[in-house]
Every structure is written in structure tokens, then in C-alpha cells.
Amino acid sequence: MRVVTTIALALSFFICEMGKAQDITWYKHIAPIIHHNCTPCHRTGEAAPFSLLTYDDVAKRASMIQRVTEARYMPPWKPDPHYVQYANERRLSAADIAMIANWTAHDMPKGNATDAREEDLQFVTGTRYNRKPDIVLQMKNSYHLEGDNKDHYIVYKIPFELADSMNVEGIEFITNNRKVIHHANYEIDDVPGLDLYNTVDYIDHETETTKYFENFVPYRSRIRYFGGWIPGASMESYPKHIGWVMPKRGVILLTLHYAPLGKAEDVISGVQIWTTTSNITRQIKNENLGSGSDSQKDIQPFFYLPPDVVRTFTLNVKTGEDKSLLYVWPHMHMLGKVFKAYAIKPNKDTIPLVHIPAWDFNWQEIYWFPKMLKIPKGSTIHIECTYDNTINNPYNPNLPPALVMENMNTNNEMMTLVMVTLPYQDGDENISLEK
């Protein structure tokens, strides 16, 4: 705190030199900071408990905002900014934090409306993207979850029949009840021949695993897209001519993992899609490394966590072709402490991919590189994760600590890196992923 205050003082002095401190106004200085870093979550329909959009929204909470920004509790941004800077970075500079403090100390001047920047207010209700979706596909009925304090894995079938196949520019998971969902996975299957409706609407993994095979497996011979959502995460979109093709007819198989609940809740979920008329010449691929993939068995040492240990695991996976990397998506559960991944090129240079020095299960993200990142053929993707299964870990779901195995349950652990990739083409390093 002392350091932050010193910086704040130094900066406020600096700002005074440029003009009077009370010249810091909502329209000119504060609104752009809030709209870029806070409003994406703090608005109607998003994860945060109140809106931070208008002057009134922000001014009436100014001292609380000062406190959470000085403590760097908000905006939640977990990657080490010195390791990799991502296109979707939400992080305040020391100058931004000082500016908020200064504005608060001077009774939140509103300033001149002519200083407002229109582009800062281009929020579209119901999405993180810049326009309304072209297709929304949701569960037909809402699902009633019992408050039985158990994990639930349910696979929902969402059949669809469109006028034609469509080129996809972006996709986003949607739900009316974010707080009950631990994570979502979904695949989009092209199903030209089979009946889409005469199978069950959903399968509860706990009670009906055998029926999965006869009901849903036949749909899965042409998987066109595989994606997911975790708490805190934003949407996925692609540069021009890159993406995938939404088939004309098929099903979405949406797996929702619900965290244990103490009271009943109703949930309706699905996906929304943005289509484009430009053709898709390059199809993206989601590659899974570690838990839940072929490379799970290569994690060293064998992945499990006895009670009362802090342990680090590594995984090395070789790449067989030149690739371009668009996004990375690290995933662990409650015992996770540190997540680090980098590529080692054949010449031994390293390419940093992601470093989360203080893992926080509640704030996971899909991290976007500013430009496509080339991973040359023969590189090794190195992943290194530390877990704390002791009583010192305040998020430990077991008290006293218990044996934890590798499993999708919240109370067990995972070590996974999802990478969204393309086969490399000349010039990819120059393609920007900024939205």
C-alpha cells in the first residue's frame, strides 16, 4: 500500500504540473479508463453485481473504486504483465490508479461533455462483441438444478436447422445464470442424415452414462468446432478469412459442469454466433494439452496430489509442424498456484506463452496474443504447474487436505492448456488479433 501511495503522490504531482489536479474530469480522463477496463463486466447481463457505465454509477462508488483499484483487486487480471502482454489485457497503469484517486479526492468533477469519446460507449447488450449476434441457439427449456451440494455434469443437445451453412467470425457462450456454472464445453456437429429430435434432450452423466452412447455418439462423426467457457472468460473471434464453418443442420452438444449448490436454481444456456460473408480459407483448431488429452500420460511425475504436499508437474509436447498460435487458455482447479507455459524452439530460444503467478480459479480467461505467434516445427511446448494441497491454501476444498486425483470434478485437479492454432503461413506474424 505504501508503494502505491508514493506512486500516487508522485504522479499527482506530475499531473498537477501539467494542469491543476481538479482538471481531472469524468469525461476526459476517468470515463475512458472505466469503459475500457471495467464496463465489459460491470453492465447489465454481465458477471459483476452492478453497472459502471454512467457518471452516476461511478461517482457514487468512487471511494470503493479507489480502494479496489489501488489494491489491484479490480480489474481482475492474473497473468504476469512482464511475461506476455495480451491483446485483451485489462490492467490499470499506476497513472490510471493515481488519476482515479485524485479524481475521488477532488469530489469527482464531471467536466465537459464535449470531451466524451463516443467510441468508449459502444457496448452491445448481451455480448462482449461489437454487434448483435446473427444466430442464437439455446436450450429449449430451462433446466432445474437441485440444491443438493453435488457436482453435476449434464450434456444438452441443441438441434439446429439453418437456411444454409455459414462462415463463422465469432462465437460466445451464453447463460442466464453464470454463477452456478463451473465450466462449459461444447461441440458443433454436422449431422446431414440422422434424425435430430428423436433422441433425449439431455443426459445427466451421474445417472445415465450408458444412454450417451446410443443417443449422442452417432451425431459426433463430423465435429466442426469445439470450444468452451470458464468463469471470467470472454468470447472468441477471428481475423478475416480465419474461422470455421457452421453446418446447415446438426446439433450442439453442450456439456455443463455445475458447481455444488446449496439451493435450487434454474438455468438456460447456449451459444451465440456471428457470421461473415467473407470466405473462410483457414480453419482454426483447438488443441488440448495435458489433462483430458492424449498427452495426459506424459505429465511428470504421475499426476496426483497426496494430502499436505506442494508439488510441481511438467509436461513437454513436441510440435510436428509450423503453427500459428492465436489464443491460450490455461486451466487448473482450486489447488492450482502457478501456471507457466512456453515453447522451446529447435535452436533453444524460448517463446513465452503464459505465466499466472498467483492462480485464481475465479478469474480464468482465454488470452489473446496481439498478433499471431509462430511456433516453429520441432518446438517443444513446456508446461509447468504448481499445486498446493496443504492447509495453507485457503481455496483447498478438502479440510483436512485429502488425496486428490486428476478429474474434471471441482474437488479434483486438472492441468490443461488449450491452444487455438492454425497451420503457419508466411506473414502470419503480422496479422493482428486486436478486436
Count residues near ligand HEC (CB under 6 A). 20
Closest distance to ligand HEC from the beta carbon of 48 (Å):
4
Among the candidate windows 46-54, 221-229, 246-254, 309-317, which touches ligand HEC by CB under 6 A?
Answer: 46-54
Q: What is the distance between the alpha carbons of residues 40 and 44, in angstroms, rounded to a whole number? A: 10
Pick one of 79, 232, 250, 401: the residue that binds ligand HEC (CB under 6 A).
232
Element (H, E) at 62: helix 62-70
- Number of CB atoms found within 10 A of residue 97's CB: 20
Give the contact letters, 2-41, x = binds to ligand HEC (CB under 6 A), - = no.
Answer: -----------------------------------xx-xx
Closest distance to ligand HEC from the beta carbon of 369 (Å):
19
Q: Which three cell numbers stand for residue 310?
A: 506442494
Q: Which of 217, 216, 236, 234 is nearest to 226 (CA)?
A: 236
394 binds ligand HEC (CB under 6 A): no
Helices (H), 302-429: none
Between 43 and 333, CB nearer to ligand HEC:
43
Q: Which of 312, 299, 355, 303 is nearest to 330 (CA)?
A: 355
Closest distance to ligand HEC from the beta carbon of 36 (Å):
9
Q: Which three cell numbers stand for residue 167?
A: 462462415
Between 221 and 362, CB nearer to ligand HEC:
362
Among the candidate windows 45-53, 108-116, 119-127, 413-421, which touches ligand HEC by CB under 6 A?
Answer: 45-53
Determine the residue type at 114.
T
79 binds ligand HEC (CB under 6 A): no
Pick one of 47, 95, 180, 309: the residue that binds ligand HEC (CB under 6 A).
47
Helices (H), 326-396: none
Q: Which three cell numbers stand for residue 411?
A: 474437488
Pick one of 8, 35, 43, 69: the residue that binds ligand HEC (CB under 6 A).
69
108 binds ligand HEC (CB under 6 A): no
Q: Do the Cβ atoms of 203 and 212 come closer than 8 Å?
A: yes
Between 25 and 37, CB nearer to ligand HEC:
37
| Neighbouring residues of 220: CB distance < 8 A, sequence distance ≥ 6 | 187, 189, 253
Rounded to whole angstroms, what are the CA distances from 120 to 18, 33, 204?
24, 9, 43
230 binds ligand HEC (CB under 6 A): no
Pick one of 24, 74, 271, 366: the residue that binds ligand HEC (CB under 6 A).
74
Closest distance to ligand HEC from the beta carbon of 232 (Å):
5
- Number of CB atoms found within 10 A of residue 244's CB: 21
Q: What is the distance between the alpha carbons of residues 385 and 316, in angstroms, rounded to a whole number? A: 12
Pick one of 4, 16, 21, 48: the residue that binds ligand HEC (CB under 6 A).
48
Among the candidate windows 44-52, 111-119, 155-163, 423-431, which touches ligand HEC by CB under 6 A?
Answer: 44-52
Q: Do the Cβ atoms of 236 and 367 come closer than 8 Å?
A: no
Phi/psi region, residue 148 (left: phi>0; alpha: psi -120 to 50; beta: rest), is alpha
Q: Which three cell numbers stand for residue 272?
A: 451465440
Between 101 and 381, CB nearer to ligand HEC:
101
Closest distance to ligand HEC from the beta carbon of 133 (Å):
20
> What residue ranges bind ligand HEC (CB under 6 A)?
37-38, 40-42, 47-49, 52, 61, 64-65, 68-69, 74-76, 90, 92, 232
